[in-house]
Structure 1
Amino acid sequence: MSALVGTAVGSLAAWLWLLLGQGFFWRTDVRLPPRADPAPGDWPPVCVVVPARDEAAVLGASLPSLLGQDYPGRAEVFLVDDGSSDGTGELARELARRHGGLPLTVDTPGEPPAGWTGKLWAVRHGIALARARRPEYLLLTDADIAHAPDSLRTLVAAARTGDFDAVSQMARLRAESRWERLVVPAFVYFFAQLYPFRRIGRRGTRTAAAAGGCVLLRSETAERARIPEAIRHAVIDDVALARAVKDGGGHIWLGLAERADSVRPCPRLRDLWRMVSRSAYAQLRHHPLLLAGTVAGLALVYLAPPVTLVAGLAAGSGPAALAGGTAWLVMAATYVPMLRYYRCPLWLAPLLPFTAFLYLLMTVDSAVQHHRGRGAAWKGRTYARPGTAPDALPEEG
């Protein structure tokens, strides 16, 4: 009985600390900071780099939104076709002919050498093409992200006004199917819990993260931080990019998007499972002890509240039931703002323990797949753990 009460009280203590001591991660009001438009004629040049591998299914909904940006300054788009087999490059050219708008360059970098992930090799190629245009900013955005017409304008204005070296927005992911509504808001909720947005934007803090789907990066900062060469083997490249910028003294900002949405559907549980499990173990640096600690932490924080509530009621332990029930209530309350942001029904809030259990299983599966040699696999490529990747950079051509 004392173990049951202790577990319930420990879980409640963890939730009270998360509620008040983890940068108010559960609040969803971190949006683009105050901004002022540059004077006419003073808008800096921007190049948009879009790495794309087998994205024909979503490109028709995303690329026209980039080509149609109403940016007042000079801007152009570089789509880097990363060895697609579905006609991604050809479709991109056809969309540019059909829709017009910003100039589009489509190119391919060839297969990535050892030590590089495919996406970052494509980003490297796109940045190299863009540098010939001498842009002040680079917008790194994924091929499944649709932007509102003023997205680029507002990102640049925010970066200029706040003197940020990187401004990133967590694009609103699709949450339409039953499984998407159950899993997707929790994905962003857990991310914010690990990397509280308010801390990221403060100078002098070590917390660093970005959302790879939408990152406006100062060109000078990218060159100084050796991006993407310095993070060439990173599977979770957005967090690695933010860390490289911040370690170099850069000022970064991350918040929830108002003008960028993912158009990639993941209607089935197996689609979402693959999205999470492909990189979950990489987040833990492929370390078994970190995996064990994560599983124990998820169990204490997310699974213990409903379990101790039910067990306490069954065993007649009022303290265990009270502490477990209160922890569950605090958990659900902190999840409500994210559900509102995603326009999902609020009755999903009490189901967060079940969703967390799914994430626990996805994380364990990620470790199992890694040890079977199938970890960090995406679109036909499997990446080695960073410690096994060669450190030598490829020679410049």
Structure 2
Amino acid sequence: MDPILFAAIGWLLGWWLWGRPVDLADDPALADADPAPAPRTTIVIPARDEAAVLPLLLGDLAADAPDGERRVVVIDDHSTDGTAEVARSFAGVTVLAAPDLPAGWTGKSWACHSAVHALDLGDDDVLVFLDADVRVARGAVDDAVRLVERHGGVVSVQPFHTTERAYEQLSLYPGIIGFLGTGAGHHQQAPTGVYGPLLATTARDYRAVGGHAAVRTAVAEDVALGIAYRDAGLPVAIRLGGDRVRFRMYPAGVRQLAEGWTKNMATGAKAVPLHRSLGAFWWIAGSGSAAISLPFVPGNAGVAATTGIALYLAFVVQLRMMARRTGTFSWPAIALYPVAMVAFVGLFVRSLWRSQVRRSVRWRGRTIPLHEAHHPA
């Protein structure tokens, strides 16, 4: 196939995969939400060595004015940096210690399961799981709770990805491709998985799918949990964080970025439906084809300058429109997107090596074995 045509089809597939995602604050269901007090809400924050960032989230929650009864629970996952002490310094925060990690469980799933097991929850109570590095604006948690009341099942939010250092721009492709793979922009069908940094559900529905015990071996527990809800016939919804929910991923450096994305890709990619996987592959390859079709690339003397440049700019504009909804990715990083694309390919190859050869991934000081499937509850 002609490389120009190949790239053009890839560009169109990118728009189809993107769909029409909705920001949390713009969900039309919130305009019609019941003005009655929100149900009792329990926020569970699993934390492992999060002393540096946990105060920011707890400060956000302390400054919030919830519509109904709310409690905040931090479950300390064997931290060594004083995470539990930091959590206890905030009034009204309950701090629990995760028991020793049993065989066959990943750390985050065990921490979440242990916290829920220790709590007295009514079926109509709403559980909100928040990662410790997430930042929430006033009312954002209540918005997620209202959507759970309206839709049932599970509601999750992909936080807006803030970046500060140059290497963090390498998350451009992984973040967008992860979203394309979920199908979250297509509201006629349930997404593939959910986003773990913020997910909300009723205790009844959480128990109905088996909770985190049902996905205890899954490295990408959020993806597996979303699939469990979908397979149980319960609604699954994903919203973008916009200016309401955000986080900074992998602030510790390139190694943390590589380990984090390797962990996510190693298992998350397997859950993506074949047609979406093929579409995403074509989109990636198409953006690469556009780059090598530029007239100044050696061997492209026969390519019309306007055609090659126009196609490349079309991908730049497309990436810019997607990136502005998902994170603070700079114009230079987007204009030079082949750099981020090559980094993504390297991360994907690394994830294949870890998942197919090493059969394990590394994250937060733990080696996590990969299993073919998670155990049923």
TM-score, structure 1 normalization: 0.82
Paired letter, 2:126: Y
- The Cα of 1:309 is off from its aligned counterpart by 2.7
Q: 2:284 & 2:239 partners in 1: Cα distance?
A: 28
- What is the aligned partner in structure 2 of residue 168 from structure 1? 156
| Structure-2 change in CA distance of 1:360 and 1:185 (3 Å) | closer
Does the Cα contact within 8 Å between 1:112 and 1:118 map onto a contact in 2?
yes
State yes or no: 1:235 paired with 2:219.
yes
Structure with bigger gyration radius? 1
Where does 1:370-381 land on structure 2 (aligned, <5 Å)? 370=355, 373=358, 375-381=360-366
Q: 1:16 & 1:264 partners in 2: Cα distance?
A: 29
- Runs of 5+ consecutive residues of structure 2 not aligned to the other structure: 272-276
- What is the aligned partner in structure 2 of residue 363 from structure 1? 348
| Structure-2 change in CA distance of 1:328 and 1:130 (3 Å) | farther
Moved more, 67-76 or 309-318: 309-318
Paired letter, 2:346: L
Does the Cα contact within 8 Å between 2:98 and 2:114 map onto a contact in 1?
yes
SS of corresponding position for 1:183: helix
| Structure-2 change in CA distance of 1:134 and 1:371 (3 Å) | closer
Per-residue Cα deviation, 1:77-96 (whole angstroms, up to 9, x for no partner): 111111111111121102x1
- What is the aligned partner in structure 2 of residue 47 from structure 1? 42
Does the Cα contact within 8 Å between 1:11 and 1:324 map onto a contact in 2?
no
- What is the aligned partner in structure 1 of residue 370 from structure 2? 385
Q: 2:323 & 2:179 partners in 1: Cα distance?
A: 14
Q: 2:23 & 2:134 partners in 1: Cα distance?
A: 21
State yes or no: 1:351 paired with 2:345.
no
SS of corresponding position for 1:50: strand
- What is the aligned partner in structure 2 of residue 145 from structure 1? 134
* Percent of aligned positions that are identical: 22
- What is the aligned partner in structure 1 of residue 110 from structure 2? 121
SS of corresponding position for 1:278: helix
- The Cα of 1:375 is off from its aligned counterpart by 3.4
Where does 1:9-48 land on structure 2 (aligned, <5 Å)? 9-19=5-15, 21-24=16-19, 31-34=25-28, 35=30, 36-40=32-36, 42-48=37-43
SS of corresponding position for 1:57: coil
- Runs of 5+ consecutive residues of structure 1 not aligned to the other structure: 287-291
Paired letter, 1:235: V
SS of corresponding position for 2:12: helix
SS of corresponding position for 2:79: coil
Moved more, 30-39 or 208-217: 30-39
State yes or no: 1:198 paired with 2:182.
no
| Structure-2 change in CA distance of 1:164 and 1:66 (3 Å) | same
The one of 47, 59, 62 aligned to 1:64: 59
Q: 1:231 & 1:299 partners in 2: Cα distance?
A: 30
The one of 187, 194, 198 aligned to 1:214: 198
- The Cα of 1:308 is off from its aligned counterpart by 2.7
Q: 1:247 & 1:301 partners in 2: Cα distance?
A: 33
- The Cα of 1:234 is off from its aligned counterpart by 1.1
Does the Cα contact within 8 Å between 1:298 and 1:360 map onto a contact in 2?
no
- Give me the CA root mean square deviation: 3.1
SS of corresponding position for 2:185: helix
Does the Cα contact within 8 Å between 1:164 and 1:253 map onto a contact in 2?
no
Per-residue Cα deviation, 1:80-115 (whole angstroms, up to 9, x for no partner): 111111111121102x1xxx3xx3221122222122
Moved more, 122-131 or 273-282: 273-282
Paired letter, 2:113: R
Does the Cα contact within 8 Å between 1:12 and 1:324 map onto a contact in 2?
no
| Structure-2 change in CA distance of 1:186 and 1:388 (3 Å) | closer
| Structure-2 change in CA distance of 1:392 and 1:333 (3 Å) | closer
SS of corresponding position for 1:51: strand
Per-residue Cα deviation, 1:26-64 (whole angstroms, up to 9, x for no partner): x67575412145344x42111111111111111121122
Aligned residues: 370
- The Cα of 1:359 is off from its aligned counterpart by 0.8
Does the Cα contact within 8 Å between 1:172 and 1:261 map onto a contact in 2?
yes
Does the Cα contact within 8 Å between 2:193 and 2:224 map onto a contact in 1?
yes
Q: 1:299 & 1:75 partners in 2: Cα distance?
A: 44
Does the Cα contact within 8 Å between 2:48 and 2:83 map onto a contact in 1?
yes
Q: 2:26 & 2:117 partners in 1: Cα distance?
A: 28
Q: 2:190 & 2:324 partners in 1: Cα distance?
A: 29
Q: 2:19 & 2:143 partners in 1: Cα distance?
A: 25
TM-score, structure 2 normalization: 0.86
